C-alpha cells in the first residue's frame, strides 16, 4: 500500500492511499480519515460510498465528515467508485463505465475483467483496511446516490459485517429507474431476475434490516424521479422496518445537502456501533 498523502485534520489524519487490487485488476485509490483517538487504540469505522462521477476525493473534501468523526472517535473510509486507467473499459456517458461502477460484480464484457466493485468493497478493501489501520472490527456503512444504493444493498446482504446502515438520497429502486436499468443490463445482462439482489427496495422488503435505518432525501432533489425514494419508503412501511426516512425541505442532490446532515449520520452510526 502506497501513501499518496497524509494531512492533519481535526487532530487526526486524513490519508490517501493506493494499492494493487486483485478484484479490479489494477491500482485503486482510496482515502481514510483516522480520528485522534486512533493514535491511542483501535476505533470503529464508517464506510462512505460515493455517487456517479465521483472518486475517493469528493466526499473527503466536500462532505465535512472529519470534524464529526473526530468528535465521535470514528474512522471514515472513502473508496473510489470504479476501477480506472487506460486498460479499463469506459463509456462516453457519465453514468456508465469509469466513475460508475454501481457496486456490482460485472459479468458481461467489456466490463467483467475489471468492474468487480462488490468484491472490492466488501472483501478486498474491507480486509486491507483491517490489516493496515487501527480498526476495532465495528463497521457502519453509508453513501450518497449510487453510493447510497451500494451502501444499502451491501449492508442488507452482509448484516454480519456491518452494525449500522444509512444513506443520503440513494438510488432506491434501480430495477425500475433509468439510473439502474441501463447499468444493470450493461454489467449483468438482460435477465432481470438477477437484478433484484442489487435493488435496496426489493431487498429491504424481503430481508429487512437487523436494526433501524436512517435515510435522508432532499425534497428539492433534481433527480427524484430517478432515485425513486417513494419505493424505499413504501418498502419500509410494508416490512414495518424500524427507521427514520426524512424528506428534507429545500435540499437538492449536492454536497451542500450531504455536508448539512453528515453530522447526524456520523452520530447515528457512532451510537449504534457503540452498542455492539
Residues labelled catalytic: 145, 221, 253
- C-alpha cell of 70? 473526530
Residue 201: count of CB within 10 angstroms of its CB: 26
Cβ atoms of 183 and 234 within 8 Å: the answer is no
Using alpha carbons, select from 210, 211, 215, 228 the residue that is nearest to residue 265: 215
Compute the distance between CA of residue 16 and CA of residue 77 in angstroms, rounded to an integer. Answer: 10
In sequence order, what are the beta bridge partners of 159?
A: none
DSSP 41-110: S-EEEEEEE--TT--SHHHHHHS-HHHHHHHHT-EEEE--SS--STTS---SSTTSBTTB-TTSB--STT
Q: Which residue is associated with the grid cell 469509469? A: 98
Amino acid at each position: 500500500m502506497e501513501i499518496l498523502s497524509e494531512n492533519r485534520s481535526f487532530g487526526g489524519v486524513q490519508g490517501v492511499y493506493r494499492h494493487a487490487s486483485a478484484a479490479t485488476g489494477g491500482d485503486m485509490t482510496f482515502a481514510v480519515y483516522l480520528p485522534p483517538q486512533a493514535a491511542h487504540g483501535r476505533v470503529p469505522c464508517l464506510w462512505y460510498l460515493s455517487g456517479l462521477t465521483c472518486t475517493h476525493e469528493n466526499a473527503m473534501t466536500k462532505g465535512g465528515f472529519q470534524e464529526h468523526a473526530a468528535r465521535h472517535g470514528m474512522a471514515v473510509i472513502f473508496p473510489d467508485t470504479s476501477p480506472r486507467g487506460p486498460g479499463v473499459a469506459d463509456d462516453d456517458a457519465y453514468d456508465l463505465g469509469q466513475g460508475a461502477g454501481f457496486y456490482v460484480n460485472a459479468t458481461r464484457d467489456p466490463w467483467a475483467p475489471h468492474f468487480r466493485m462488490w468484491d472490492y468493497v466488501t472483501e478486498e478493501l474491507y480486509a486491507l483496511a483491517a490489516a493496515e489501520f487501527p480498526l476495532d472490527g465495528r463497521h457502519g456503512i453509508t453513501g450518497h446516490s449510487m453510493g447510497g444504493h451500494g451502501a444499502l444493498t451491501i449492508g442488507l446482504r452482509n448484516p454480519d459485517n456491518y452494525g449500522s446502515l444509512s444513506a443520503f438520497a440513494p438510488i432506491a429502486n434501480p430495477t425500475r429507474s433509468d439510473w439502474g436499468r441501463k447499468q444493470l443490463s450493461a454489467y449483468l445482462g438482460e435477465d432481470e431476475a438477477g437484478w433484484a439482489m442489487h435493488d435496496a427496495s426489493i431487498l429491504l422488503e424481503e430481508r429487512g434490516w437487523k436494526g433501524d435505518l436512517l435515510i435522508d432525501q432532499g425534497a428539492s432533489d433534481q433527480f427524484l424521479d430517478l432515485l425513486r425514494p417513494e419505493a424505499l419508503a413504501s418498502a419500509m412501511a410494508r416490512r414495518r422496518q424500524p427507521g427514520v426516512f426524512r424528506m428534507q425541505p429545500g435540499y437538492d442532490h449536492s454536497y451542500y445537502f450531504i455536508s448539512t446532515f453528515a453530522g447526524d449520520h456520523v452520530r447515528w452510526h457512532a451510537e449504534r456501533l457503540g452498542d455492539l
